[in-house]
Structure 1
Amino acid sequence: MKIREVILHSSNYEATKQFYRDTLQLPVLEENADSLVIQAGESKLTFIADDREQAYYHIAFTIPDNKANEVLEWVRSKGIEPIAKDDAAQYPFPNWNATALYFYDPDGNLVELIAHHSLSNATNEPFSSKDILRISEIGLPVEDLPAALRQLHESLSLEKWSGDGLQFAAVGDVEGLLIVIDHKRPWFPDERMPGIFSTTVKLQTERAGSIELGPKPYRIESVNGQA
């Protein structure tokens, strides 16, 4: 599964626009007074200006599997302070064969850069924004996780890849994951309680379709992998 586009709401739009455009130096595809579309490798990330509520999300980007250490220095060179826990700013995930780091953007979104060591995407070039390869995860807190998993399976044939399926479930595969969590379970690693905010996710999967998930709701659209 691949995440082709994620559409999020931004209550700090100007600062968020500058962060992704100027600090992270991701290419801008479209820029308007109230919306921004940036290219994140194979994916698009869209922000819509919306100051009605302080929305915050969890979103992750895939980086080359051999750049977990180098990306830490790259982030710090941008003046971004990674989220550290027990004096460590990198987090190994043995069950996923991955290494990640986290930081906040100006909207308070929990941003993750993750190297999946099972992917053959190493590069010998110095790390740059070009090595942000795709959106790999988007967080979707829900009130009824088992029901959400059933809906994702029945409507889009999406399967749980990891997690207990009660409080946490990573749905999809190593290339793209919907991080479906119980809304009372805090995010890792900052232990902040998640919020449920309007989100649109466009996927490329083996089964086309669209669903609305959750009370806001989330809109998830999928096109067939051959499209």
Structure 2
Amino acid sequence: MKIRSVKLLTDKLERLKTFYSQVLGLPAIDEGERAFTVGAGSSQLIFEQASAAGASPYYHLAFDIPANKTEEALSWLQSRGIPLNRLSGGELVAQFEAWNAESVYFYDPAGNIVEFIARRNLNRVSHDPFAPGSLLNISEIGLAVHDVPQAKALLASRFAIGEYRDGSDDFAALGDEDGLLILSSHNRVWLGSDKAAYRFGTEVVIEGAGRKGEFEMDGYPYRIVSL
């Protein structure tokens, strides 16, 4: 399953536009007064101005990077003045043995928890210096829910999306290594951050799920389109 685009809300539109297009150097695709779009490999990231006064949305999202570029990614982010988030043990790199992957985390100017993840199973390596083009795609978007098993069953039945690896009552990853919808129980703290999962308006366009169609989750501000 591939994530083709993700649309998120923000109350810091101009700061995010500068960050993603100038600091991270992602190519601009579209720009307006209330939204902008940048490219990240085969995916598009869209930020739209939040309509509610005082709203400060934040999300967890992950970008895939080549499997051999974690250390270069660390140096590259630091060279751009981006503070890296440390894990509970003080380390900068999270190791996921079950996923055969490793990640680094940081906040963008709106407090979104951004992850660069190197998935060794995909065998995507690069011998070029780390650069904006090293972001291969958006591979994860987090969705906070009150009942993870119920939400998992609902999405599985609607789109025929299977679970990736073993989840739990407060966490589940739906899809595969190319793209994952990350279900987190409400108020569970996102790894690589000190922020609790919360519900904010999210639109995701996926491709390669078992079924096509559009779906809005009852009780949640989430819209998922399967191509």
TM-score after normalising by structure 1: 0.95
* Superposition CA RMSD, Å: 1.1
The answer as to 2:153 corresponding to 1:113 is no
Residue 104 of structure 1, aligned match among 100, 104, 107: 107
Does the 8 Å contact 2:9/2:48 carry over to 1?
yes
In structure 1, distance between residues paired with 2:149 and 2:73: 35
- 1:158 paired with 2:153, answer no
C-alpha distance in 1 between matches for 2:205 and 2:168 = 22
Distance in 1 (alpha carbons) for counterparts of 2:35 and 2:187: 30
The Cα of 1:162 is off from its aligned counterpart by 2.7
8 Å CA contact 2:187, 2:198 repeated in 1: no
Q: Contact 2:106 / 2:192 at 8 angstroms: preserved in 1?
A: no
**1:148-207 deviation line (CA, Å, top 9, x unaligned):** 111111110011113434110010001100000111321112232111001000000232
1:67 to 2:65 alignment: no
Whether 1:196 aligns to 2:213 is no
For 1:81, the aligned partner's letter is P
SS at match of 1:70: helix
Does residue 138 of structure 1 match 2:141?
yes
Partner of 1:45: 45
TM-score in terms of structure 2 length:
0.95
1:78 paired with 2:83, answer: no
- Of stretches 132-141 and 185-194 in structure 1, the one that deviates more from structure 2 is 185-194
Equivalent position of 1:54 in the other structure: 56
1:91 aligns with 2:114: no
Pick from 214, 219, 224: which aligns with 2:223? 219
8 A contact 1:12–1:51 mirrored in 2? no
One-letter amino acid of the structure 1 residue matched with residue 43 of structure 2: S
Q: How far off is 1:120 after superposition?
A: 1.8
Deviation at 1:209, TM superposition (A): 1.5
Output the CA distance in 2 between the equivalents of 1:127 and 1:83: 20
* 2-structure distance, mates of 1:214, 1:183: 15
Amino acid paired to 2:24: L
Question: In the TM superposition, what are the counterparts of 1:5-20 in structure 2 within 5 Å?
Answer: 5-20=5-20
Is the 8 Å Cα contact of residues 189 and 197 (structure 2) preserved in structure 1? yes
Q: Secondary structure at the match of 1:161?
A: coil
Residues 74 and 214 of structure 1, relative CA distance in 2, 3 Å threshold: farther
Give the Cα–Cα distance (whole angstroms) in 2 for the partners of residues 167 and 185 of structure 1. 8
Stretches of structure 2 lacking an aligned partner (at least 5 in a row): none
1: distance between equivalents of 2:171 and 2:18?
33
Q: Could you tell me which amino acid in structure 2 is paired with residue 74 of structure 1?
A: W
Question: Which position in structure 1 is the counterpart of 2:34?
Answer: 34
Aligned residue for 1:118, secondary structure, equals helix
- Corresponding residue number in structure 2 for 1:25: 25
Q: Structure 1's 51 and 212: CA in aligned 2 closer, same or farther, altered over 3 A? A: closer
